[in-house]
Structure 1
């Protein structure tokens, strides 16, 4: 996907619009080196969980424990969404200060472009996290070729979309960001459908997607308000963004528990889950 996008934007697009190739390469470097890199950070968690899922699902299926496999899949998907949804919202709301924090020595124009592209890519964080997890689940179920076929279909769709957007719109590099999000979305849908067909699996919706989304919305509003308030005082994006991230994480944690989006048992399955449970009980969020 990245190779195709690179070729389309840096080799075909300049000849289509008679553009300066140096400028094109500079902009694509901002996209791939900053915006895309930042959007990939939360996906690392899904990749780690995906690697751990293959043997456990394969073992359950070998023992013909389909119910156990479904429960394992459901917990993994929920855990991934509980983390990836707020990450996506956080990257959208705090795109500019986060880019400024991690990538220094950038002009205002480059910073604005990188931030806008990251906002465009933020939804792909959720799609990539879920599609990565489901790819490994399918491998654990013995459906090794299915994720590859789904990736091929998604690649064709995203390539056509990128070409059409570049030809008929003035979105420029945003066309590639949209195509990238479309690719991840297609992969997400196709892999989820394949898992459902393989084990008759139906994902629980409310606690897996709806409640984390509502909690993330509250978190995003808090993060934006805190950042803007601190920035008015400090005039520094780097100083203002760190407290905003920390407080936003606390707001999300509290809202998720208050809305009954996660149980004590599920919370214990998280890294340092026992500590999170202890804090929640001390704050009387859990009984």
Structure 2
């Protein structure tokens, strides 16, 4: 960023000199204060979730030990399943929605500044749709193939599949929360996500305290509380977004169609996995099932008109994908 600034500094300074004389320029102190006021809520919203994860890790060990049903070795083993497997495997899909959220901020902010309400509505719905079109099938895939994925990645220690089955949905909830956070930041409501994150963190801590100590639930309690945390934060942010923008969210395209398509995909993944296992081992069968599942998901989404040519054109290499889909007659 600094290299880019040094390169563009002459152009920036020329533009500043061309500003009308009547416009008051901010002093360095005023600019710094404005920057802090803008950046702090954004950083705080992210830090709250990170802090919650740290509290979560502390509460898991103490909760398991205090229950009296687990030894230190058993508690550490369960903790390892949570931190080393569940967190790792559910984080990757979320990184994609996080990137989308970051990209959405300047685009939406530009439309808000120009006063183009129609374009603001379109960009908000497009950002939400693209994030959930990726996050929902990822959550379903992790949920239905959790045991198989762990056996493929950790053949000597495949335990922990139940955590993926229970917690896969958090991938979708967190992705929704992050993209709505990006949109709220784009329209200037940077404090709202912080409040949502704090509410979600409070729910998580309470559920951790209640669930982890139950022997039959144990470490899965932390996963359930994570699901609830992100769901509550996402709903709060979404309600606030609709309240402040007065925009009608297209839930049919954003949530319903991807969920139906992902459900069909999940059934297909299980069926094809069993079929492939008649010929191959677990690793190859799992990979092939994931690939087939992606194809099934895409086909169902096209049949339901869940994704359109316009959607493809808004992503990198979208034009090439449209040409291929038209060639195989999956798109008109």
Q: How high is the TM-score relative to the length of structure 1?
A: 0.93
| Corresponding residue of 2:17 | none
Q: Is the aligned partner of 1:207 residue 2:253?
A: yes
Give the superposed CA RMSD. 1.5
State how far apart, in whole Å, the 2-side matches of 1:155 and 1:243 are: 38
Q: Is the aligned partner of 1:265 residue 2:316?
A: no
C-alpha displacement of 1:169: 6.2
CA contact (8 A) 2:196 2:234 kept: no
State how far apart, in whole Å, the 2-side matches of 1:17 and 1:64 are: 61
CA contact (8 A) 1:36 1:118 kept: no
Q: 1:68-147 to 2 correspondence within 5 Å?
A: 68-106=119-157, 111=158, 113-147=159-193
Q: 1:1-287 to 2 correspondence within 5 Å?
A: 1-17=52-68, 19-106=70-157, 111=158, 113-167=159-213, 170-234=216-280, 236-287=281-332
State how far apart, in whole Å, the 1-side matches of 2:215 and 2:81 are: 21
Number of residue pairs the alignment of both structures matches: 281
CA contact (8 A) 1:93 1:220 kept: yes
Structure 1 unaligned runs (5+)? none
State how far apart, in whole Å, the 2-side matches of 1:103 and 1:135 are: 34
C-alpha displacement of 1:168: 5.2
SS of corresponding position for 1:228: helix
C-alpha displacement of 1:26: 2.0
Q: How high is the TM-score relative to the length of structure 2?
A: 0.81
Structure 2 unaligned runs (5+)? 1-51
SS of corresponding position for 2:80: helix
State how far apart, in whole Å, the 2-side matches of 1:90 and 1:230 are: 17
